Amino acid sequence: MAWIVLIISGALEAVWATALGKSEGFSRLLPTLVFVAGLVASMGGLAYALRTLPVGTGYAVWVGIGAVVTATYAMVFDGESASVPKVLLLAGIVGCVIGLRMLH
Q: Could you read off the pLDDT tens digit of each residue along the chain, which spans 104 residues? A: 999 999 999 999 999 999 999 999 999 999 999 999 999 999 999 999 999 999 999 999 999 999 999 999 999 999 999 999 999 999 999 999 999 999 98
As a residue count, the chain comes to: 104
Helix ranges (H only) for the chain are 2-22, 29-49, 55-77, 84-103
pLDDT (0 to 100) of residue 7: 97
Domain ranges of the chain: 2-103
pTM, rounded to two decimals: 0.91
The identity of residue 49, as a single letter, is: A
